[in-house]
Copies of this chain bind each other. A is one copy, B any other.
């Protein structure tokens, strides 16, 4: 019976590929950049667009619920019955900033299809996570008249900004969000190799400002007597790591948890394959990092600290002989299991304070922080995902630790206390860079995979009622 229902829904999805693609492009055209206050109305517009689509599909209570920051898109379809699990589906509809704009081959919010790739900001991170679920629901509702499980959707609008307002929101709406399983539709897979994410890193974003003279000074008149803020910024950044890349913030590694034997074995098995893949994607001449850890450990099981941007003084053509008035840098740290973001933030700020001097003013800030999280590695939900991929892609997923962060996962885990798994649809590249794209074939496969997953989850859960 299930197989027929799946086939009908998949057939419906295939018949409507053109309509679905048009809808996806419409959503991609809304520049929902959450970090930039200038795009505030665009973020709101994206939220309302999605809420309207949910209503049309048949979800109840669909709306853009205001938070203290950007709105959450919520909607629910709870007609599957009490014996069926309730899945809370998470994705985010906000996107990264687009600069450097001049490195884009096409305007980032005008989707362009070329060589089987759909280019636009948000294609893989993470409007596909929103849209693929919507179209799976639509295809099932159109053919089956109902969903195989109860579904609540929670589409966030400030993931790329570190989700500063989601914790109070989740606390306020805890009852509304109650569910048996949280499905995270963010992140993606490799071409021909689906991934089932078993952990994500946490993240802390910070900034450091060094203020010197009241304004830029002539480097001839003041060179030798005025402390240059760019030099101090360099001194601080240089002190963040030792020569092998070990982070030097005192106590930074204190609480890093060891990974268990099964995870360690999986990382060892994946080491060479991932190295080859990441080498091609990054274009670096050689990899880097503390030599006592394997490639996969450094990429996923060890914390990091990276400067994301750095600025001071004159940056135009030619020279300008000044001592800059100020210098600053942005930094992000990726945390692993058991590192408390509040504790690491305090250690970071103490480290910055340790550079205090009477010739410059130094100030560190922490703008957002989130915990790392541990996800399901077995049970009905994992099995439903693995089967869906196996049937649709012809390959079972790699059980994979992820280096990136989905800040909300750690928070959901701590606030809602429900099991979590991920089902990411984005196969493409340049998620945080110019020329972001998704492979169109994988976009369509994503819808098929989601359809399979929701039916299989009902089935697996029926066979194993003691867990999810």
Closest B residue by C-beta to A301:
B224
Picked from B302, B314, B359, B402, the residue with its CB within 8 Å of the CB of A284 is B359
Contact B404 A304 (CB under 8 A): no
Closest B residue by C-beta to A212:
B284
Chain B proximity of A86: nearest CB distance (Å): 29
Closest B residue by C-beta to A406:
B220
Q: Is A289 an interface residue (CB 8 A)?
A: yes
Q: Is A398 an interface residue (CB 8 A)?
A: no
Choose the segment among A105-113, A305-313, A444-452 that binds chain B (4+ C-beta atoms closer than 8 Å): A305-313
Q: Within the assembled complex, what's the spacing in Å between the Cα atoms of A170 and B97?
A: 51
Contact B226 A231 (CB under 8 A): no
* Cβ–Cβ < 8 Å partners of A404 in chain B: 218, 220-221
Picked from B213, B221, B228, B238, the residue with its CB within 8 Å of the CB of A231 is B238
Q: Is A230 an interface residue (CB 8 A)?
A: yes
Q: Is A173 an interface residue (CB 8 A)?
A: no
Contact A310 B311 (CB under 8 A): yes
* Cβ–Cβ < 8 Å partners of A306 in chain B: 219, 223, 228, 231, 323
Q: Within the assembled complex, what's the spacing in Å between the Cα atoms of A330 and B103?
A: 23
- Which residues of A307-365 are within 8 A (CB) of B? 307-324, 327, 329-330, 332, 334, 358-361
Contact B307 A330 (CB under 8 A): no
Contact B288 A227 (CB under 8 A): yes
Contact A403 B203 (CB under 8 A): no
Contact B223 A283 (CB under 8 A): no
* Cβ–Cβ < 8 Å partners of A377 in chain B: none
Q: Within the assembled complex, what's the spacing in Å between the Cα atoms of A237 and B235?
A: 8
* Interchain residue pairs with CB less than 8 A apart (12): A35-B316, A37-B317, A97-B314, A162-B319, A205-B319, A223-B304, A228-B306, A231-B238, A233-B234, A287-B359, A307-B312, A322-B432
Closest B residue by C-beta to A321:
B332
Q: How many copies does the complex hold?
A: 2
- Which residues of A183-213 are within 8 A (CB) of B? 201, 203, 205, 207, 212-213
Given A230-B329, A310-B327, CB of A321 within 8 Å of CB of B222: no
Q: Within the assembled complex, what's the spacing in Å between the Cα atoms of A394 and B74?
A: 80
Q: Within the assembled complex, what's the spacing in Å between the Cα atoms of A422 and B237?
A: 43
Contact A313 B324 (CB under 8 A): no
Q: Within the assembled complex, what's the spacing in Å between the Cα atoms of A223 and B293?
A: 14
Contact A287 B226 (CB under 8 A): yes
Contact B307 A228 (CB under 8 A): yes
Contact B309 A315 (CB under 8 A): yes
* Cβ–Cβ < 8 Å partners of A318 in chain B: 35-36, 97, 161, 367
Contact B359 A285 (CB under 8 A): yes
Closest B residue by C-beta to A404:
B220
Q: Is A261 an interface residue (CB 8 A)?
A: no
